[in-house]
Amino acid sequence: MHAILRIAAPALLAVGAALFIDVRSRRLALDPPGFRNPFRRLLGLGAVALALAVASFSWIGTMPRQPTAAQLAQVPYWQLFMLHMLLVGAIVVWFAAGYAGTGERLGDQIGLRPQRPLVEIGVGIVFGIGAWVIVLAGAWLVSVVVTALGAQDLVPKSPPTTVAWLAATPVLLRVGLALSAGLVEESFFRGLLQPRAGLLFSTALFAMAHLSYGEPFLLVGVTLLSLLYGLLVIWRQSLWAAVAAHALFDLVQLLVVVPSLLHSFRGFWAG
């Protein structure tokens, strides 16, 4: 029964989310022209639903367990990019089903317009630095409130096992993961979903996608970041700034913050 739940629940939630996106897209007149064909609509929405089932809902049935260091050590590095490849596949199938033969460009549909990308990336870098300050302040405030309420055990004392493992992988791999996350995750959640599902719904899906780390407290920072990236996309009317801000955040986290924290913990216990 538990195994069935782990498969059925993500699938049902993903289908429900895809149908919500479809209904809202029609109301906003954002329905792709190719979706007039029922088969093409089913193909496009099916690709989105599959991506959501894996990315945003696959944690159901596994929480609150985290993978052990021994289990993570068996994961081949190429597998770390599989989720991003699935999201890219969903975007491509959705676009092909909805816009093939119309002359539309994929970049225009998900906000990767070529106008002044370097300027937008510069804005994103500045915004990304500010996002670090905001997220750290927000996480600190929440931890103070939680501690004051006597639930200090909910505040993590160290980075999640998965994040700590990622921070110990080769530098070039971490750089590749950060750049891939910035481009692919922003293209899917902010480029494809946000205009059609809305800021709050796309933020919820993005936050749930990070529950796989096995640390619910991370949702505070992830949700705040998602809202900031979403507002940045609305402000700039382009995805490039959010891509740069997201990639910068992940780079700093994987190359500086988490390794420094792990070093501090090791030094504390060794001392």
Confidence of residue 270 (pLDDT cuts 50, 70, 90): very low
Please give the pLDDT value at position 269: 34
Domain ranges in the chain?
Answer: 2-265
In whole angstroms, give the CA distance from residue 12 to residue 236. Answer: 34
Q: Which of 267, 242, 262 is nearest to 162 (CA)?
A: 262
What's the whole-number mean pLDDT along residues 47-70? 81
Q: Residues 244-258: what's their mean pLDDT?
A: 90
Q: CB under 8 Å to 211, separation ≥6 — which residues?
A: 59, 63, 219
Task: Tell me the residue type at 185.
Answer: E
User: Can you give the pLDDT at residue 215?
Assistant: 61
pLDDT higher than threshold 90 for residue 261: no
Residue 1, pLDDT > 50, answer no
Provide φ and ψ at 113, rounded to 5°: -70, 145
Sign of CA dihedral 219, 221, 224, 229: negative
Q: How many Cβ atoms from other residues are within 10 Å of residue 80's Cβ? A: 16
Q: Lowest mean pLDDT: which of 77-91, 93-107, 165-179, 250-264?
A: 250-264
Mean pLDDT, all residues of the chain: 86
Identify the band that residue 219 occupies on the pLDDT scale cut at 50, 70 and 90: confident
Number of Cβ within 10 Å of residue 214's Cβ equals: 17
Give 20-58 pLDDT, tens digit per residue: 999 999 999 999 999 999 999 999 999 999 999 999 998
Apex 189 CA angle, 183 and 191, nearest 5:
70
Between 12 and 214, the higher pLDDT residue: 12
Contacts (Cβ under 8 Å, ≥6 apart) of 140: none
The dihedral over CA atoms of 92, 227, 215, 80, expressed in degrees to the nearest 10, equals 30
Q: Percent of the chain beyond pLDDT 90?
A: 55
| Residue 206 clears pLDDT 70, i.e. is over it | yes
User: Residue 66: its pLDDT value, please?
Assistant: 66
**What angle, rounded to 10 degrees, do the helices at 240-252 and 218-236 form?**
150
pLDDT for residue 143 = 77
| pLDDT over 60 at 267, yes or no | no
Q: For residue 214, what pLDDT is reported?
A: 59
DSSP assignment of the chain: -HHHHHHHHHHHHHHHHHHHHHHHHHHTT---GGGGSHHHHHHHHHHHHHHHHHHTSTTTTTTT----HHHHHTS-GGGGGHHHHHHHHHHHHHHHHHHTTS---HHHHHT---SSHHHHHHHHHHHHHHHHHHHHHHHHHHHHHHHHTT-GGGS-SS--HHHHHHTTS-HHHHHHHHHHIIIIIIIIIIIIIHHHH-HHHHHHHHHHTTGGGS-TTHHHHHHHHHHHHHHHHHHHTSSHHHHHHHHHHHHHIIIIIHHHHHHHHHHHHH-
